Protein backbone atom coordinates (compact mmCIF):
# COMPACT_ATOMS: atom_id res chain seq x y z
CA UNK A 1 0.00 0.00 0.00
CA UNK A 2 1.47 3.36 -1.04
CA UNK A 3 1.87 6.41 1.21
CA UNK A 4 -0.66 8.33 -0.95
CA UNK A 5 -3.35 5.69 -0.31
CA UNK A 6 -2.72 5.96 3.45
CA UNK A 7 -2.74 9.79 3.65
CA UNK A 8 -5.62 10.40 1.23
CA UNK A 9 -8.52 9.41 3.56
CA UNK A 10 -7.13 11.62 6.33
CA UNK A 11 -6.74 14.58 3.95
CA UNK A 12 -10.27 14.04 2.63
CA UNK A 13 -11.67 13.94 6.17
CA UNK A 14 -9.83 17.17 7.05
CA UNK A 15 -11.14 18.83 3.90
CA UNK A 16 -14.72 17.77 4.69
CA UNK A 17 -14.36 18.99 8.27
CA UNK A 18 -13.10 22.38 7.09
CA UNK A 19 -15.97 22.58 4.60
CA UNK A 20 -18.52 21.80 7.33
CA UNK A 21 -17.03 24.46 9.59
CA UNK A 22 -17.16 27.01 6.77
CA UNK A 23 -20.78 26.09 6.04
CA UNK A 24 -21.75 26.48 9.72
CA UNK A 25 -19.92 29.81 9.92
CA UNK A 26 -21.64 31.13 6.80
CA UNK A 27 -25.02 29.92 8.07
CA UNK A 28 -24.43 31.65 11.43
CA UNK A 29 -23.37 34.89 9.69
CA UNK A 30 -26.43 34.73 7.45
CA UNK A 31 -28.70 34.19 10.45
CA UNK A 32 -27.18 37.17 12.27
CA UNK A 33 -27.53 39.39 9.18
CA UNK A 34 -31.14 38.31 8.67
CA UNK A 35 -31.87 38.95 12.34
CA UNK A 36 -30.42 42.46 12.16
CA UNK A 37 -32.41 43.24 9.00
CA UNK A 38 -35.61 41.93 10.58
CA UNK A 39 -35.04 44.05 13.68
CA UNK A 40 -34.44 47.18 11.59
CA UNK A 41 -37.51 46.44 9.44
CA UNK A 42 -39.74 45.90 12.48
CA UNK A 43 -38.45 49.08 14.15
CA UNK A 44 -39.08 51.18 11.05
CA UNK A 45 -42.52 49.61 10.54
CA UNK A 46 -43.38 50.15 14.20
CA UNK A 47 -42.29 53.80 13.94
CA UNK A 48 -44.49 54.41 10.90
CA UNK A 49 -47.43 52.61 12.49
CA UNK A 50 -46.99 54.66 15.66
CA UNK A 51 -46.95 57.91 13.66
CA UNK A 52 -50.06 56.93 11.70
CA UNK A 53 -52.01 55.81 14.77
CA UNK A 54 -50.87 58.84 16.76
CA UNK A 55 -51.96 61.32 14.10
CA UNK A 56 -55.31 59.62 13.60
CA UNK A 57 -55.89 59.44 17.37
CA UNK A 58 -55.09 63.13 17.80
CA UNK A 59 -57.54 64.07 15.06
CA UNK A 60 -60.24 61.56 16.02
CA UNK A 61 -62.41 64.17 17.76
CA UNK A 62 -62.40 66.31 14.64
CA UNK A 63 -62.98 63.37 12.29
CA UNK A 64 -66.26 62.47 14.02
CA UNK A 65 -67.49 66.06 14.17
CA UNK A 66 -69.94 67.06 11.37
CA UNK A 67 -68.87 70.70 11.74
CA UNK A 68 -65.32 69.72 10.74
CA UNK A 69 -66.54 68.91 7.22
CA UNK A 70 -68.64 72.06 6.91
CA UNK A 71 -68.02 75.51 5.50
CA UNK A 72 -67.68 77.32 8.82
CA UNK A 73 -64.49 78.79 10.24
CA UNK A 74 -63.58 75.43 11.77
CA UNK A 75 -64.64 73.45 8.68
CA UNK A 76 -62.46 72.08 5.89
CA UNK A 77 -65.05 71.75 3.09
CA UNK A 78 -63.34 74.40 0.91
CA UNK A 79 -59.94 72.77 1.39
CA UNK A 80 -61.31 69.31 0.55
CA UNK A 81 -62.95 70.69 -2.58
CA UNK A 82 -59.78 72.51 -3.64
CA UNK A 83 -57.59 69.46 -2.97
CA UNK A 84 -59.62 67.19 -5.22
CA UNK A 85 -60.04 69.96 -7.78
CA UNK A 86 -56.29 70.51 -8.11
CA UNK A 87 -55.76 66.73 -8.12
CA UNK A 88 -58.12 66.20 -11.06
CA UNK A 89 -56.89 69.28 -12.94
CA UNK A 90 -53.25 68.24 -12.57
CA UNK A 91 -53.90 64.64 -13.60
CA UNK A 92 -55.85 65.78 -16.67
CA UNK A 93 -52.72 67.59 -17.85
CA UNK A 94 -50.08 65.23 -16.47
CA UNK A 95 -51.33 61.85 -17.66
CA UNK A 96 -51.70 62.61 -21.40
CA UNK A 97 -48.36 64.45 -21.59
CA UNK A 98 -46.31 61.92 -19.63
CA UNK A 99 -47.96 58.92 -21.31
CA UNK A 100 -47.40 60.40 -24.77
CA UNK A 101 -43.76 61.10 -23.90
CA UNK A 102 -43.32 57.56 -22.59
CA UNK A 103 -44.85 56.06 -25.74
CA UNK A 104 -42.52 58.09 -27.92
CA UNK A 105 -39.41 57.26 -25.90
CA UNK A 106 -40.15 53.53 -25.69
CA UNK A 107 -41.86 52.79 -29.01
CA UNK A 108 -40.58 55.33 -31.53
CA UNK A 109 -37.40 57.12 -30.49
CA UNK A 110 -34.12 55.42 -31.46
CA UNK A 111 -31.93 54.67 -28.48
CA UNK A 112 -28.99 57.04 -28.37
CA UNK A 113 -27.55 60.21 -26.83
CA UNK A 114 -30.83 62.14 -27.12
CA UNK A 115 -32.73 59.58 -25.05
CA UNK A 116 -29.91 59.59 -22.50
CA UNK A 117 -30.08 63.39 -22.24
CA UNK A 118 -33.88 63.31 -21.83
CA UNK A 119 -33.64 60.73 -19.05
CA UNK A 120 -30.85 62.68 -17.37
CA UNK A 121 -32.93 65.88 -17.51
CA UNK A 122 -35.97 64.08 -16.08
CA UNK A 123 -33.95 62.56 -13.25
CA UNK A 124 -32.39 65.94 -12.50
CA UNK A 125 -35.82 67.56 -12.40
CA UNK A 126 -37.07 64.88 -10.00
CA UNK A 127 -34.32 65.87 -7.56
CA UNK A 128 -35.21 69.57 -7.49
CA UNK A 129 -36.82 70.56 -4.15
CA UNK A 130 -40.52 71.36 -4.40
CA UNK A 131 -39.88 74.74 -2.81
CA UNK A 132 -37.59 75.67 -5.71
CA UNK A 133 -40.18 74.44 -8.22
CA UNK A 134 -42.76 76.52 -6.41
CA UNK A 135 -40.70 79.66 -6.95
CA UNK A 136 -40.11 78.60 -10.56
CA UNK A 137 -43.84 78.10 -11.06
CA UNK A 138 -44.58 81.51 -9.56
CA UNK A 139 -42.08 83.20 -11.86
CA UNK A 140 -43.01 81.34 -15.07
CA UNK A 141 -46.73 80.67 -14.74
CA UNK A 142 -47.96 83.34 -12.33
CA UNK A 143 -45.82 86.24 -13.59
CA UNK A 144 -44.62 85.59 -17.14
CA UNK A 145 -47.71 83.63 -18.27
CA UNK A 146 -49.98 86.15 -16.47
CA UNK A 147 -51.95 83.43 -14.69
CA UNK A 148 -51.53 85.10 -11.33
CA UNK A 149 -51.96 83.23 -8.07
CA UNK A 150 -54.41 80.64 -9.34
CA UNK A 151 -55.35 77.00 -9.44
CA UNK A 152 -54.06 76.66 -12.99
CA UNK A 153 -50.64 78.02 -12.02
CA UNK A 154 -50.58 75.50 -9.17
CA UNK A 155 -51.58 72.63 -11.46
CA UNK A 156 -48.87 73.50 -13.99
CA UNK A 157 -46.30 73.66 -11.20
CA UNK A 158 -47.41 70.24 -9.93
CA UNK A 159 -47.10 69.02 -13.52
CA UNK A 160 -43.41 69.97 -13.50
CA UNK A 161 -42.98 68.34 -10.10
CA UNK A 162 -44.63 65.02 -10.98
CA UNK A 163 -43.70 64.65 -14.65
CA UNK A 164 -40.41 62.75 -14.01
CA UNK A 165 -42.14 60.22 -11.74
CA UNK A 166 -45.04 59.68 -14.12
CA UNK A 167 -42.71 59.38 -17.11
CA UNK A 168 -40.55 56.77 -15.36
CA UNK A 169 -43.56 54.72 -14.26
CA UNK A 170 -45.20 54.83 -17.69
CA UNK A 171 -41.94 53.89 -19.39
CA UNK A 172 -41.59 50.90 -17.08
CA UNK A 173 -45.16 49.86 -17.81
CA UNK A 174 -44.56 49.90 -21.58
CA UNK A 175 -41.20 48.16 -21.31
CA UNK A 176 -42.79 45.36 -19.26
CA UNK A 177 -44.94 44.33 -22.23
CA UNK A 178 -43.27 41.35 -23.99
CA UNK A 179 -41.85 42.10 -27.44
CA UNK A 180 -43.67 39.02 -28.79
CA UNK A 181 -46.99 40.81 -28.43
CA UNK A 182 -45.78 43.75 -30.51
CA UNK A 183 -44.26 41.49 -33.16
CA UNK A 184 -47.42 39.39 -33.35
CA UNK A 185 -49.60 42.46 -33.91
CA UNK A 186 -47.25 43.81 -36.57
CA UNK A 187 -47.10 40.40 -38.26
CA UNK A 188 -50.90 40.45 -38.59
CA UNK A 189 -50.67 43.70 -40.55
CA UNK A 190 -51.38 46.23 -37.82
CA UNK A 191 -49.65 49.58 -37.97
CA UNK A 192 -47.30 50.51 -35.15
CA UNK A 193 -49.81 52.92 -33.59
CA UNK A 194 -52.63 50.37 -33.83
CA UNK A 195 -50.41 47.76 -32.17
CA UNK A 196 -49.63 50.23 -29.38
CA UNK A 197 -53.28 51.22 -28.95
CA UNK A 198 -54.81 47.73 -29.06
CA UNK A 199 -52.04 45.52 -27.66
CA UNK A 200 -49.35 47.42 -25.75
CA UNK A 201 -51.47 49.90 -23.78
CA UNK A 202 -54.06 47.33 -22.58
CA UNK A 203 -51.24 45.04 -21.44
CA UNK A 204 -49.50 47.92 -19.64
CA UNK A 205 -52.73 49.25 -18.12
CA UNK A 206 -52.22 47.83 -14.58
CA UNK A 207 -48.89 49.62 -14.12
CA UNK A 208 -50.26 52.77 -15.79
CA UNK A 209 -53.17 52.88 -13.33
CA UNK A 210 -50.76 52.32 -10.45
CA UNK A 211 -48.62 55.21 -11.69
CA UNK A 212 -51.63 57.52 -11.89
CA UNK A 213 -52.67 56.66 -8.34
CA UNK A 214 -49.14 57.09 -6.96
CA UNK A 215 -48.78 60.52 -8.57
CA UNK A 216 -52.18 61.39 -7.09
CA UNK A 217 -50.79 60.72 -3.63
CA UNK A 218 -47.85 62.97 -4.32
CA UNK A 219 -50.14 65.73 -5.58
CA UNK A 220 -52.40 65.58 -2.52
CA UNK A 221 -49.44 65.68 -0.14
CA UNK A 222 -47.71 68.65 -1.79
CA UNK A 223 -47.66 72.05 -0.13
CA UNK A 224 -44.45 73.98 -0.82
CA UNK A 225 -45.04 74.23 -4.58
CA UNK A 226 -48.60 75.50 -4.02
CA UNK A 227 -47.86 78.18 -1.45
CA UNK A 228 -46.30 80.41 -4.10
CA UNK A 229 -48.68 79.59 -6.96
CA UNK A 230 -52.13 78.99 -5.41
CA UNK A 231 -51.90 81.08 -2.27
CA UNK A 232 -53.13 80.48 1.26
CA UNK A 233 -56.63 81.95 1.14
CA UNK A 234 -59.93 81.25 -0.59
CA UNK A 235 -62.17 83.76 -2.37
CA UNK A 236 -65.89 83.95 -1.60
CA UNK A 237 -66.72 81.88 -4.71
CA UNK A 238 -64.41 79.00 -3.77
CA UNK A 239 -66.91 76.30 -4.81
CA UNK A 240 -66.47 76.95 -8.50
CA UNK A 241 -64.60 75.30 -11.36
CA UNK A 242 -62.86 78.53 -12.32
CA UNK A 243 -59.14 77.63 -12.66
CA UNK A 244 -57.98 81.24 -12.40
CA UNK A 245 -58.85 81.93 -8.77
CA UNK A 246 -56.53 81.43 -5.76
CA UNK A 247 -57.27 78.58 -3.37
CA UNK A 248 -55.76 76.68 -0.49
CA UNK A 249 -55.63 72.93 -0.06
CA UNK A 250 -55.51 70.63 2.94
CA UNK A 251 -51.72 70.82 3.12
CA UNK A 252 -51.36 74.56 2.59
CA UNK A 253 -54.13 75.25 5.12
CA UNK A 254 -52.33 73.04 7.63
CA UNK A 255 -49.11 74.96 6.95
CA UNK A 256 -50.95 78.25 7.48
CA UNK A 257 -52.54 77.17 10.77
CA UNK A 258 -49.26 75.88 12.22
CA UNK A 259 -47.06 78.52 10.59
CA UNK A 260 -47.69 82.18 9.68
CA UNK A 261 -51.40 82.03 10.56
CA UNK A 262 -51.01 80.59 14.05
CA UNK A 263 -52.86 82.83 16.50
CA UNK A 264 -54.01 85.26 13.80
CA UNK A 265 -56.96 83.39 12.31
CA UNK A 266 -60.59 83.71 13.40
CA UNK A 267 -60.20 80.48 15.38
CA UNK A 268 -59.19 80.18 18.99
CA UNK A 269 -55.93 78.47 19.87
CA UNK A 270 -57.78 75.29 20.88
CA UNK A 271 -59.75 75.29 17.62
CA UNK A 272 -56.61 75.78 15.58
CA UNK A 273 -54.99 72.81 17.31
CA UNK A 274 -58.09 70.65 16.76
CA UNK A 275 -58.41 71.60 13.10
CA UNK A 276 -54.70 71.03 12.47
CA UNK A 277 -54.91 67.58 14.09
CA UNK A 278 -57.97 66.78 12.01
CA UNK A 279 -56.24 67.93 8.83
CA UNK A 280 -53.25 65.69 9.57
CA UNK A 281 -55.54 62.73 10.17
CA UNK A 282 -57.48 63.36 6.95
CA UNK A 283 -54.27 63.58 4.94
CA UNK A 284 -52.92 60.36 6.46
CA UNK A 285 -56.19 58.55 5.71
CA UNK A 286 -56.30 59.86 2.13
CA UNK A 287 -52.71 58.79 1.47
CA UNK A 288 -53.36 55.35 2.97
CA UNK A 289 -56.42 54.92 0.76
CA UNK A 290 -54.48 56.01 -2.30
CA UNK A 291 -51.56 53.65 -1.69
CA UNK A 292 -53.79 50.69 -0.87
CA UNK A 293 -55.94 51.46 -3.91
CA UNK A 294 -52.86 51.46 -6.13
CA UNK A 295 -52.06 47.89 -5.09
CA UNK A 296 -55.64 46.62 -5.18
CA UNK A 297 -56.65 48.20 -8.49
CA UNK A 298 -53.38 47.24 -10.17
CA UNK A 299 -53.74 43.61 -9.14
CA UNK A 300 -57.41 43.50 -10.11
CA UNK A 301 -56.70 44.85 -13.59
CA UNK A 302 -53.73 42.52 -13.94
CA UNK A 303 -55.92 39.50 -13.16
CA UNK A 304 -58.56 40.65 -15.63
CA UNK A 305 -56.05 41.29 -18.39
CA UNK A 306 -54.33 37.96 -17.75
CA UNK A 307 -57.65 36.10 -17.75
CA UNK A 308 -58.64 37.76 -21.02
Higher per-residue confidence, 73 vs 89 = 89
What are 168-227's pLDDT values in tens digits?
Answer: 989 988 988 888 888 888 888 878 888 888 888 888 888 888 888 888 888 998 888 899
CB atoms within 10 A of CB 187: 9
Rounded Cα distance between 174 and 122, Å, is 17
Write the DSSP assignment of 181-207 as a string of letters.
HHHHHHHTT--HHHHIIIIIHHHHHHH
Rounded Cα distance between 85 and 244, Å, is 12
Reported pTM: 0.82
Rounded Cα distance between 20 and 8, Å, is 18
Q: Which letter does DSSP use for residue 232 in this model?
A: S
Rounded Cα distance between 257 and 267, Å, is 10
* Domain spanning 69-307: CATH 1.10.3720.10: yes
What are 235-289's pLDDT values in tens digits?
Answer: 888 899 999 999 999 999 998 888 887 777 777 888 888 888 899 899 998 888 8
Closest CA to 230 of 91, 137, 95, 128: 137
Specify the 3-state DSSP secondary structure of 20.
Answer: helix
Q: How confident is the model at residue 307 (pLDDT cuts 50, 70, 90)?
A: low
pLDDT at position 167 over 50: yes
Rounded Cα distance between 274 and 43, Å, is 29
Closest CA to 295 of 202, 214, 205, 222: 214
In sequence order, what are the residues at sequence separation of 6 or more whose Cβ sits closer than 8 angstroms to the Cβ of residue 181? Answer: 199, 200, 203
φ/ψ of 56, rounded to 5, equals -65, -40
Amino acid sequence: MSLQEVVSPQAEEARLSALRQLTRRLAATNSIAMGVLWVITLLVAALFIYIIISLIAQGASSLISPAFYGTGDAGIAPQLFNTFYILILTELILVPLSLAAAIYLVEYAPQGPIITVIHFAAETLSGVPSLVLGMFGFLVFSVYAHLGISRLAGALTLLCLNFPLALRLFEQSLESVPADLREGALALGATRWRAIRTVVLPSALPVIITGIILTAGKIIGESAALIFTMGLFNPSNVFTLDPLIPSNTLTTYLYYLKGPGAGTSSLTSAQETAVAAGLSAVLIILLLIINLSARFIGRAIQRRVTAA
